[in-house]
Amino acid sequence: MVSQTYSRRGVVLRAAVAVGAVLLLSLVGLLASANSGPVRGGIVIALAAGALLALVIVLVSARMLEPEDLRSRATERTLRVASGTLKYMSEGLTEEDCKAVCQLLLPETAASAIAITDLTKLLAYVGVEMQGPAVGTPNSVPTMQVIQSGRMQTFSNMDVQEDPRVAEEGTRGDLDPVPYPMGIIAPLTVRDHVVGTIKLYYARGSEVDRTQLAIARGLAELLSTQLSAYELDRQAELTARAEVKALQAQINPHFLFNTLNTIASLTRTDPAKARDLLREFAVFYRKTLQSSQQTIPLSEELAQTRRYLKIEKARFGEDRIIETENVETGCDDVLVPGFIVQPIVENAVRHAMRDDGPLHIDVQAVVDGGDIMIAVADDGLGMDESVAERLLSGSSQESSDSSKGTGIALKNVAERLERFYGAGSGVEIMSKVGEGTCVTLRLVGAAPASQQHAEA
């Protein structure tokens, strides 16, 4: 790319010189045939001035157009490299992705080879002439020096011990000089910690100039930025899993004991129902422990919610909890993080149920433009605005032990929705004391493409 830019500049300059030369040759011809008369002399002087002016105009025009051309080409080149490497750095420093990055970057430099390492070993090597050190080769002394110092450095014979021709006992013997005796090693950093290096090899020391140093530094900063983005994504995922595990850990032990007592009681009065409930209970807890590992279809989350309600109905009575479910076509396949509906339904059972009469719980999922809306409504005791705010803030100040963890659960759901689906996603609570509560979840951009088109 660099050589093509300078070739283009050379063509422009050569054209300018050619134009000037043609005009000058015409001038010489006129001089040879011209008389010494004042009129002929004036014509010759005018032609000479015109030739010089034309030459100056062409040269100045070439110089004025050059910088803009160089800038546009440099911008295009930078964007192409950044876009190409981002695709491979999104999974971190893996051997396969590092090799692809080396293959992408090598033509953008004057280097004869490029390599990437982690903190201990070589991950990838790509060269135009010779086969370099094998993947997995321990880092060389110069590479370890850069890792320890965190600063870019140049070296001569920088990977002597990595040359595949070196004898096992560590001596070079009568081998020819190293094909790439000079090099630049730049650190790759994530949050100010070195995680690897990028290495540029050169056949001649004269090739390691300021331009190549700037390129090496720029490539290292580009890859470091992309690795930092990968690390942020990885940490966010780990945080989300930790939050789900924290939610799992706060499963009310009273629910566990009450369910076991209910099953034990049913073994005497209705053994078949006890067996069925025991199976549901086993599946419920197995799914609960698995739900932090991945996203699941909304249909599975709703199935888990129905298992929970089946267990609670066995405890309170079939007529005390009446649930309805309405899921719009296409919504049941939407992938959602586990534990977003069941904790809300559990809150309704634990806190909205009156001393007598049924509690109606209605679960709906619909498409709203490009979003998915999930609503859990009940006709229970309801709450005032201050209690709803405390639930969303993660605090629960009621004195009853049964309320502990309720606010944490709702805040957990809200934070995970925003992390998975972005800004605008979250939880909204609408409630009125004595009439009931509706908790709405918004999943921004989660609607299937076919459903979005249908809505439009």
Tell me, what CATH number does 314's domain have? Answer: 3.30.565.10
Question: Distances from the Cα of 262 to the Cαs of 183, 257, 268, 282, 334, in angstroms?
Answer: 74, 9, 11, 14, 34
Of 330, 327, 328, 301, nearest to 420 (Cα)?
301
Domain boundary among the residues 72, 88, 104 is at 88
DSSP structure class, residue 332 = G
Supply the mean pLDDT for the chain.
75
pLDDT value for 238 = 55
Which CATH number do you get for residue 228? 3.30.450.40
Instruction: Report pLDDT for 92.
Output: 79
Is 344 a member of any domain?
Answer: yes
Give the mean model confidence (pLDDT) for residues 140-169. 71
Percent of the chain scoring above 70 in pLDDT: 64
Same domain, 99 and 191: yes
By residue range, what is the domain housing residue 389?
A: 250-455
Q: If you average pLDDT over residues 254-260, what whole number do you get?
A: 79
Single pTM value for the model: 0.49
Assess if residue 243 is contained within a domain: no
Average pLDDT for 5-11? 50
84 and 212 share a domain?
no
Q: Identify whether 239 is part of a domain.
A: no
Mean pLDDT is lowest, of 11-25, 292-306, 347-361, for 11-25
Based on the fold, state whether residues 218 and 349 are members of the same structural domain. no
Residue 186 shares a structural domain with residue 271: no
Average pLDDT of the segment spanning 434-443? 94
Q: Does the structure show a pLDDT above 80 at 433?
A: yes
Asked if residues 81 and 105 have their Cβ atoms less than 8 Å apart, the reply is yes
Say yes or no: 57 and 80 in one domain. yes
Is the pLDDT reported for residue 223 higher than 80? yes
Q: Is the pLDDT of residue 203 over 70?
A: yes
- Looking at the domain assignment, is residue 368 inside a domain? yes
CA angle at 150 for the pair 145 and 156, rounded to the nearest 5°: 40
Residue that terminates a domain, selected from 201, 234, 267:
234
The answer to whether residues 315 and 387 belong to one domain is yes
Task: Specify the number of domains making up the chain.
Answer: 3
pLDDT-derived band of residue 363, with 50, 70 and 90 as boundaries? very high
Domain shared by 399 and 285, yes or no: yes
360 shares a domain with 397: yes
Contact 188, 196 (CB under 8 A): yes
Q: Taking residues 394-416, what's their average pLDDT?
A: 59
Please tell me the predicted confidence (pLDDT) of residue 205: 78
Q: Looking at residue 324, what is its pLDDT?
A: 94
In this structure, the answer to whether residues 451 and 427 fall within a common structural domain is yes
Question: Considering the domain boundaries, does residue 241 fall inside one?
Answer: no
Instruction: Say if residues 223 and 198 touch (Cβ distance below 8 Å).
Output: yes
Q: What is the mean pLDDT of residues 401-424?
A: 70
With respect to residue 244, please indicate whether it lies within any of the assigned structural domains: no
pLDDT band at 20 (very low <50, low <70, confident <90, very high): low
pLDDT in tens, 29-85: 555 555 545 545 555 555 555 555 555 555 555 555 455 555 555 555 556 666 667
In a domain, 292, yes or no: yes
Is pLDDT above 70 for 397? no
pLDDT at residue 428 in the model: 93
Does residue 245 fall inside a structural domain?
Answer: no
Whole-number Å distance between alpha carbons of 393 and 407:
7
Place of tokens 């809300």: 344
Statement to judge: residues 25 and 170 lie in one domain:
no
Max mean pLDDT among 130-139, 228-237, 322-331 falls in: 322-331
For residues 159 and 275, membership in a common domain is answered with no
Q: Which of 40, 72, 88 marks a domain boundary?
A: 88
Residue 113 and residue 71 share a domain: no
